[in-house]
Structure 1
Amino acid sequence: MIDDPFYKSIEESLLPKNCEFSDEQRDVILYSNNANIVAGPGSGKTTVLIAKAAYLLKREQKRTKGICIITHTNVAVDEITKRLKDLGIENLSYPNFIGTIHEFFNHFFAKKAYKELFPDKQYHFIDDEIYIEKFCEEFEYNKPEWYSFPPPTSKMKESYLYITPGDKIILNGDIKLSYKESVLRTLLKLLNKGLLRHNDSLSFTQWYLTKHKDNILKAFSERFSYLLLDEAQDTNHYQYNLLNTLVKSSSIVFQKFGDPYQALYNIHDDNGDAWEPSKESEIELKEISKSSRFGEPIAKILRTTCIRKYESLKSNPLIESASPQLIVFDDPLTIEDHFINIIEEFALTKESFRNSENKIAIVGAEHQAIKKYIPKYIKAKQEKTLTTGIARLCYGKIIEGFLNSLYIVEELKIPEEIFSYSKNYLKKKIASELLNEKKNLALVVIEIWNNQGLLTELEELKLIEVYKALNSSFNIIADEGSDYKLVMRKLKVELKSVFLQSGIDSNKKGDEKTVYYGTVHSVKGETHKATLILDTDLIENPFGEDKGVFSSNYIIFNYLMGNYTNLNELDVIKRNATLKALKLAYVALSRPTHIAAVAINKENFIDLEKEIDMAEKAGWQVSII
């Protein structure tokens, strides 16, 4: 029992009536030193992080230092900000900071670095999709004369600029020497136009931090008492090293929240994960291991279907999860109907399952692999639609569209400070000061909802008028004939993808026959009522003599059956494939509350009869179709 009025008020506000934080959760909220907080799926990580932030803000409200909360998506920023305000905490601005990891590096370092290196230029940090288009246009003017291929965009995410102590900019990355100089010239041209990628933000941060290290570290220690990193497993090596540089040898308490078993960021390369709590023995490890999401049949699978054995994971005894389902198939086109039959049979006997509005999902490692099972599948941009609400996502896409117009519509004359506006800042400014524009945007969103994500020609014209009104409000000068065609074309795709990726329509929410299809990456962070993970070919060392092709679900068959093998005991090729398969399966199978299902092609089994017997003894319901 904690006799602390701040703690008790937060607990009563965040949890249902007569509920308390668990011992593990309370320990994390009150802990005041550096820590790695490993929070299992459905363990209340976000609620605990919000409770901790609220506790610190209430306890230290009379102090001069603030807290810094970094997460990875605007959705998470919105959720944390809203829930803190619901707790009565209004002052979330200076000396505090809440933002995405991109906003953090841009705000504190990259913008200042760019202005120092390019004092007469305006900077624009733009989405990778828009940047790639600009890169392709510029590369045409800089490519070698012999070059007749499409622009080399595939390696852009892995390429970084490096700024030398003498301020010379060079290119690091796996790009062929024959056109590497052309790529660098293209990137420099874009830099001179003020166009920066997220990767460039990190490069500029590195340069600025190296050059002004002592002053920056002093300023950070004086401003922040805590740095809370959400979803730490999604942080890449570059970001993680920069954050550690900022807090090393300082008084700032650095606490990292996440689930290292769900680290998918580096799944397609061999660089390993940036955040590996098991290897940071000098930092206190805290666990929140009890899940409220699923029952024992699902927890049992997850304890061994992960990159390290997760023996401490606990299930929710109040949730009656079904026995896990193993579907052995010949024809991939039969999978969908069979999975729906399983769901319909279970729904007849479980009222809690019938009443759940969570998704039913079929997921695979890659878009192309899903299409083999579901020919009607359409690749759509990933969005966590059920978590945030489709209408809210559409509104966010429209705001992003306005910000994108600043970079795409060339006739605009824009005050420099506008480029520092984030989507969240713009939404707040519209909500508080531009009520007429807010009303008109809401009307457009309603029509988009009614039309299932379709931006009609009439609504497009209305939206352009709203954008022009926003231009006027922000003192942006635009020619009468400013062309918004590219902006609207992109926005139409984005809006339609929200509905496609949701896997539902507005009239059939909760229908057992409504199924969501997508990649495992796209459902990360979601809760489903039933999830099926499809079998996919994993190819290792594709151009080598020891090339390996593995079934993603069969290669981890023993892990699924409760038999864990240390990955270090496997040869390199098989280990790499197994590592990927375990990460994919863990993320997918930790989504459902009731039904976890795995599909494996019959031809992948070595001894079908023996392995079916093993599965049934391990508690799996096996169907051969």
Structure 2
Amino acid sequence: MLSMKPAIEVIDNADIEWVAGLMGLHSLDEPRRAFLKSTQTIDLSACPGSGKTTLVVAKLAILARKWPSMARGICVLSHTNVAREEIQKRLGGTEIGRKLLGYPHYIDTIHSFVSQFLARPWLLSSDYPVTAIDNDITTNVRLRHLGSQRRKVLTALNPKHIEFSSLRLRSADFSTPLESTQLKMKPTAPTFLAVAEAMQKAAEQGYYCYDEIFTFGGALLDEHPEVAESLVRRFPVVLIDEMQDTSQLQSEILRRVFPRDRAELCVQRVGDANQAIYEGDKSPVSDVFPDPTDGRSLTIGSSFRFDQSIASLATGLAIIPVGADGLQGIRNRKPAEPPCRHTVFIFPDGDTSQVLSAYARHALSTLDPMVLTKARVAAVGSVHQLRPEIAPGHKHFPASVSHYWQDYKITSLASARPTHLIEYVHSAQAIVIDKGNLCDGVNGVAEGIIRLANTLAERPVLRAFSRPHRLLERLLADNAATLGVYRSMLRRLLVDREVMSLALWPGISRDLIAIAEVASGCSSPGSSPDPFLELTAEHKSSFELKVRAETPPNTYRFQDAEQTVDVRIGSIHSVKGQTHTATLVLDTYNNGHHMERILPWLLGDRVGDQGVSSDLAAKRLRLAYVAMTRPTHLLCLALRRSSIGKGCEYEANKEKLVANGWNFIEL
């Protein structure tokens, strides 16, 4: 049993006033102050727009200022590097920022933590190399090991609806890498044996998929439980951000390393369970967030993003109650700001043609002209996959956001990892244009160049990386000319936002290949270009449409006289974490039309978890809650006429919506 005093015993009002002055914070009410002061294990549920990330950085600044040890540190984990980036943005030029970003503290992703402290040590101590931790590279190596049986295996998996790329090591014993349930066949079947052998050979050569890291991390804890004790000594304070997006696999590893019942350990988890919209594994949850135990959780239910008119419309969709008073909107409205008419657009079941134009026109007429100059207007739905087989008149229409605008395209930015070099460039430009995130755009281009370098070498000469731009800068440091070409390329693509064309691409691709050659130390074969470098017919036909400097991708532009508004269209998943000026939630289909299935909550007939009888029903509510809490000023919905009802039921439901605060426009 460890014996140690809490790393920080007291955080008082003086500490809070200090950090408020340092970061320019205002409106630190009692729930926010309670989180800043807490030095015990606790969960924080923070509603959308509550300033959660800023609050986390403020807490870390206080801890860093008072931190007493040079050998033990604070461990901050999340799914992205948002916390690190926010520290760099808010505190990067301060002594406190430099302390937080250096030893003994650790701020990184959950995956990087498990890889560094658990998985890699287990692999290396077991005499297994770490050649690459990458899904695509590992899948290709496994396919090569199938040899002549490749076509037979893929043919056998196809009717079972199993993607070879989805297979994962389920055991740290590489001689038995698969579970029979993964392939839906007996372990003695020839296909099963062929796949198992290919996965074993790839693993023994050091090729692994990202999420297999947690299997190896668990193996180290099984064999050496003392490792967890050493990590508790190393990190007596742990803060886990975006806890609602943590999978059961990740949560179990974190629970084993940092058990929340240890008196000498402070584990603080931050998130919002009402925004848990990402698909995870189906294992039963053993470590519920937020902790239902009395005194083990705090709630921040007030949002700086929107006012009470939006909060009142969204609060009933929160499966977990947002505090005793529900969701509170505390955005400061300007004295002359007109009230927005949050609107439900009712369209004929088979005709969505007027929805986006009506929404755009309503935004132009409702939003203050000064707000419109910088407005971010969005239309989102829960399903964005193209569904060309479903046409107007089909009972599932509209099934996708693409049914509201025929030019909608699924881009690599919004879905899977890019498969071609050009897609990395398009995606990076789209991130900068659409989200204003230059850091992610730079890393996107760098990731594409590193993948190209590994392609040229025909093996992963550049190993697993989490900050590709830093890696490239280091690899090119001794070649000033190529480093200059790389930096000039980033400026052209992401700062100047040069529009891609068929005429420009050959020159740009030559420069990217030259950079990759220096980074990898390998030369391009010249003939027989790799498919990664090819331009498909789709790339060529949509070259000018994918990314334009003047119009972000998947943007519907509406013009009315001299006024123009751009409506950005996408999935609800793609806008999680974003703030909009106006948001329209589009009805789509997934085992039922989304808006129709949640109508009882929109009407106020049900609240929270009332009537929620399945995981899908709960997910529908969470998706709607995420979408409806994006806007600062204007919230709208688009519903099929039949979803409201017929005759007297239609009129009664219409009256309920109006009574709840909705404006009503029939198209």
TM-score (normalizing by structure 1): 0.84
What is the alpha-carbon distance in structure 1 between the residues aligned to residue 152 and residue 45 of structure 2?
A: 53
Counterpart residue type for residue 457 of structure 2: E
After superposition, the Cα gap between the structure-2 partners of 1:113 and 1:599, relative to the gap in structure 1 and judged at 3 Å, is same
**Aligned equivalent of 1:305:** 317
**Aligned equivalent of 1:376:** 407
Counterpart residue type for residue 514 of structure 2: E
After superposition, the Cα gap between the structure-2 partners of 1:557 and 1:31, relative to the gap in structure 1 and judged at 3 Å, is same
Alignment partner for residue 59 of structure 2, among 52, 64, 69?
A: 52
**Aligned equivalent of 1:10:** 19
List aligned pairs for 1:194-209, cutoff 5 A: 194-209=206-221
Alignment partner for residue 521 of structure 1, among 564, 569, 573?
A: 573
Q: Kindly state the Cα deviation for residue 564 of structure 1 after the two structures are TM-superposed.
A: 2.8
What is the alpha-carbon distance in structure 2 between the residues aligned to residue 57 and residue 407 of structure 1?
A: 40
List aligned pairs for 1:111-150, cutoff 5 A: 111-119=120-128, 121-126=129-134, 128-136=135-143, 138-139=145-146, 141-142=148-149, 145=152, 148=155
Worse-superposed segment, 373-382 or 496-505: 496-505
List aligned pairs for 1:343-492, cutoff 5 A: 343-347=363-367, 350-368=368-386, 369-380=400-411, 381-382=413-414, 385=432, 389=436, 391-411=438-458, 414=461, 419=464, 422-423=467-468, 425-426=470-471, 429=474, 439-449=484-494, 450-452=497-499, 456-471=505-520, 477-479=521-523, 481=525, 485-488=530-533
TM-score (normalizing by structure 2): 0.79
After superposition, the Cα gap between the structure-2 partners of 1:505 and 1:111, relative to the gap in structure 1 and judged at 3 Å, is farther
What is the alpha-carbon distance in structure 1 between the residues aligned to residue 305 and residue 466 of structure 2?
A: 37
**Aligned equivalent of 1:261:** 274
What is the alpha-carbon distance in structure 1 between the residues aligned to residue 628 and residue 519 of structure 2?
A: 45
- Match of 2:238, SS? strand
Asked whether the equivalents of residues 364 and 372 of structure 2 are also in contact (C-alpha less than 8 Å), the reply is no
Deviations 1:385-408 (A, max 9, x none): 568625443321121123323543
What is the alpha-carbon distance in structure 1 between the residues aligned to residue 278 and residue 565 of structure 2?
A: 32
What is the alpha-carbon distance in structure 2 between the residues aligned to residue 256 and residue 109 of structure 1?
A: 21
Deviations 1:37-81 (A, max 9, x none): 111111000001111111111210544311111111245543344
After superposition, the Cα gap between the structure-2 partners of 1:537 and 1:412, relative to the gap in structure 1 and judged at 3 Å, is closer
Q: Kindly state the Cα deviation for residue 219 of structure 1 after the two structures are TM-superposed.
A: 1.4
What is the alpha-carbon distance in structure 2 between the residues aligned to residue 588 and residue 22 of structure 1?
A: 26
What is the alpha-carbon distance in structure 2 between the residues aligned to residue 564 and residue 432 of structure 1?
A: 61
What is the alpha-carbon distance in structure 2 between the residues aligned to residue 451 and residue 621 of structure 1?
A: 42
Asked whether the equivalents of residues 235 and 265 of structure 1 are also in contact (C-alpha less than 8 Å), the reply is no
- Match of 1:58, SS? helix
**Aligned equivalent of 2:420:** none
After superposition, the Cα gap between the structure-2 partners of 1:274 and 1:323, relative to the gap in structure 1 and judged at 3 Å, is farther
After superposition, the Cα gap between the structure-2 partners of 1:342 and 1:588, relative to the gap in structure 1 and judged at 3 Å, is same
What is the alpha-carbon distance in structure 1 between the residues aligned to residue 195 and residue 175 of structure 2?
A: 19
After superposition, the Cα gap between the structure-2 partners of 1:409 and 1:258, relative to the gap in structure 1 and judged at 3 Å, is same
Asked whether the equivalents of residues 157 and 199 of structure 1 are also in contact (C-alpha less than 8 Å), the reply is no
- Match of 2:457, SS? coil
Asked whether the equivalents of residues 119 and 213 of structure 2 are also in contact (C-alpha less than 8 Å), the reply is yes
Asked whether the equivalents of residues 174 and 203 of structure 2 are also in contact (C-alpha less than 8 Å), the reply is no
Asked whether the equivalents of residues 274 and 625 of structure 2 are also in contact (C-alpha less than 8 Å), the reply is yes
After superposition, the Cα gap between the structure-2 partners of 1:257 and 1:566, relative to the gap in structure 1 and judged at 3 Å, is closer
Counterpart residue type for residue 176 of structure 1: K
Alignment partner for residue 637 of structure 2, among 590, 595, 598?
A: 598
**Aligned equivalent of 2:360:** 340
What is the alpha-carbon distance in structure 2 between the residues aligned to residue 274 and residue 234 of structure 1?
A: 15
After superposition, the Cα gap between the structure-2 partners of 1:53 and 1:181, relative to the gap in structure 1 and judged at 3 Å, is farther
Alignment partner for residue 583 of structure 1, among 579, 599, 622?
A: 622
After superposition, the Cα gap between the structure-2 partners of 1:296 and 1:14, relative to the gap in structure 1 and judged at 3 Å, is same
Runs of at least 5 residues in structure 2 that lack an aligned partner in the other structure? 1-10, 387-399, 415-429
Counterpart residue type for residue 458 of structure 1: G
CA RMSD of aligned residues (A): 3.7
Asked whether the equivalents of residues 561 and 614 of structure 1 are also in contact (C-alpha less than 8 Å), the reply is yes
1:318 and 2:357 correspond = no
- Match of 1:90, SS? helix
Alignment partner for residue 602 of structure 2, among 533, 555, 560?
A: 560
After superposition, the Cα gap between the structure-2 partners of 1:263 and 1:55, relative to the gap in structure 1 and judged at 3 Å, is same
**Aligned equivalent of 2:223:** 211
Asked whether the equivalents of residues 233 and 273 of structure 1 are also in contact (C-alpha less than 8 Å), the reply is no
List aligned pairs for 1:143-182, cutoff 5 A: 145=152, 148=155, 154=162, 160-163=168-171, 168-171=176-179, 174-177=182-185, 179-182=191-194
Counterpart residue type for residue 171 of structure 1: E
Asked whether the equivalents of residues 177 and 199 of structure 2 are also in contact (C-alpha less than 8 Å), the reply is no
- Match of 2:596, SS? coil
- Match of 1:36, SS? strand
What is the alpha-carbon distance in structure 2 between the residues aligned to residue 43 and residue 598 of structure 1?
A: 23
Alignment partner for residue 101 of structure 1, among 86, 110, 113?
A: 110
Counterpart residue type for residue 316 of structure 1: I
Deviations 1:504-524 (A, max 9, x none): 699x9xx85212111111111
What is the alpha-carbon distance in structure 2 between the residues aligned to residue 624 and residue 445 of structure 1?
A: 48
Identical amino acids, percent of aligned pairs: 20
Q: Kindly state the Cα deviation for residue 443 of structure 1 after the two structures are TM-superposed.
A: 1.7
After superposition, the Cα gap between the structure-2 partners of 1:411 and 1:183, relative to the gap in structure 1 and judged at 3 Å, is closer
What is the alpha-carbon distance in structure 2 between the residues aligned to residue 222 and residue 146 of structure 1?
A: 48
What is the alpha-carbon distance in structure 2 between the residues aligned to residue 286 and residue 384 of structure 1?
A: 34
List aligned pairs for 1:22-61, cutoff 5 A: 22-60=29-67
Asked whether the equivalents of residues 31 and 299 of structure 2 are also in contact (C-alpha less than 8 Å), the reply is yes
Deviations 1:436-473 (A, max 9, x none): 655432321233244335672111111222233334xx
Alignment partner for residue 582 of structure 2, among 526, 530, 543?
A: 530
Runs of at least 5 residues in structure 1 that lack an aligned partner in the other structure? 472-476, 540-549
